[in-house]
Structure 1
Amino acid sequence: MVEIDEDPQMGFEAEEDDDDDELSDSELQEAFSKGFLKPGLNVPLLEPKKAINNVEGLKKCLTEFKKNLPWAERLDLTNYPAVDIVAKAEGRAQQPEGSEDVNAEDDFQREMYFYRQAQATVLAALPKLNKFKIPTRRPEDYFAEMAKTDQHMQKIRKKLLLKQAAMEKSEKAKKLREQRKYGKKVQTQVIQNRQKQKKAMLTAVKKYQKGMTDKLDFLEGDQDQKPKGSAAKKQINKKDPNSKRKYKDKKFGFGGKKKGTKWNTKDSHDDVSGFKAKMAHGKGGKHFGKGGKTNDQAESELHRGN
């Protein structure tokens, strides 16, 4: 058991233990219930952080991992930016080396400073590399070793091909949808035009039947809708009938009405020039027997034929 004694300075019982700076949650709850914890008693004191600049320790660490390697192994250069050619061409005054003030918030100025510094580094490094006989140009038969394996690149290539095929499929489906949509629109328009023409035709027919008009121009509506150029071309290409055609037309006629041509008219009924009594009354007498006909039957058939 831990013995707790009352601390007159803090106003609550304190522990006599090694960890007397920290109290458990249960002990704090018990002290709060007894009224030992009051506002303003526990005030944290924030001490300012002390900056430690251990120069000797830093130098010691530097000497431990520093190696005196030749420059060809290090390839390190520290130099100022190259001369500003644009400012020199424009005749603007240039600041001396090391005193150029760059605004870090200006992206263009900052990037140009890095670019000019890289230029100066290249100009300073090339003579040193040539001095140590280090080649600075890639040979013609040089093939770089890729960091990724061929299997990995094949996977990437396969994935790219699948992605490209999916995009092409999507574009093709999109074009088909557009074509179907356009075809459906054209079909709807054609149906509407046909319905409109049919309605106009029925209206014209009704007017003609009621006697409101005596014109039959609506029957030639399809011909009127043809362009004038095609009609003129057809008229030009039309030739007169030849002599053979004229002879046949003269001999056989031009066709026309054939149904009902043998019907009796008033003139044919009154004309009795072709009447033959022998054929009408059958002077051969009555014929009886199988397949025979009487005079009355023959006369009736003759009248039906006329």
Structure 2
Amino acid sequence: MTIETTTMEDSEDDTQLGNESEEEDSELSDGALQEAFSKGLLRPGMNVLASKGKPCVNNEDGMKQCLIELSTKTLPWVERLDLTNLPAEDIVAKAEGRPPPPEGGVDAENDFQREMFFYRQAQATVLEALPLLKKLNISTRRPQDYFAEMAKSDQQMQKIRKKLISKQAILEKSEKAKKLREQRKYGKKVQVEVIQKRQKEKKDMMNAVKKYQKGMTDKLDFLEGDQKAPAGASQKNPKANAAKKANNAKRKSKDDRFGFGGKKSGKKWNTKESHNDVSGFSSKVAHGKGGKKGSKGKQNKRPGKSTRKNMKSRS
């Protein structure tokens, strides 16, 4: 009896353990629900029955029927506007005398050939579609008075307009500032060139004056400055050329007679000897009483040319 009791108890324990493991594996076990209900964790509306997913049905017959209804053959061409064309004739190759490429001979890796093939195919499609549209009285050109309503509101377009105007104003201001900087640079460059030119002219003038003072030249052309006549003016005006030569001769004779250069200031200053020498003083000459009225006094007569030259040389 004892042995049998033991075996029955063992079997009951095994079934209990199996049930517990099944309850633990099950998410919605009765024991867990009772325990949750006793603790107050279950409330109305927390648990919702999950609906089963929509079964996937592969209705081949229905799909084929829809395909037939949507087939292009059942709709008029004006609703489809589909055309399948071969490329148009290559006019450029024909004009240049090149043989056209064979059918299917376009290299897919050659971008130029591929794009030209698409272009000629579209050209052939347009040449075929335009007469068909014209035949169906469908206009292909936009009328002159065509009016299309804007998708955006007037307020949005005003904002866009203001933004574009502000951008344009900024660009114009930038261009104006750029031009002003360039003008300033050019003006500064011109100003520097003018100053350098004036300095050079002044330097040349001073060098010419020094040469004239030292007797290295007898020309006074540098005094004429910018008013100097051009090179061909003397050839056209012989009178001016002759007058210029006469002036040069006169200048030369004066230089031979009186000399040039050297110290000129202080020559007429009195010295101690000349101040004490009164031998040449005459009261008649000093007070203008010499000679009769209407006659020239001998004491006031100017010495002759040779006398003055000798006096100049003695001094």
- Normalised to the residue count of structure 1, the TM-score between the two structures is 0.45
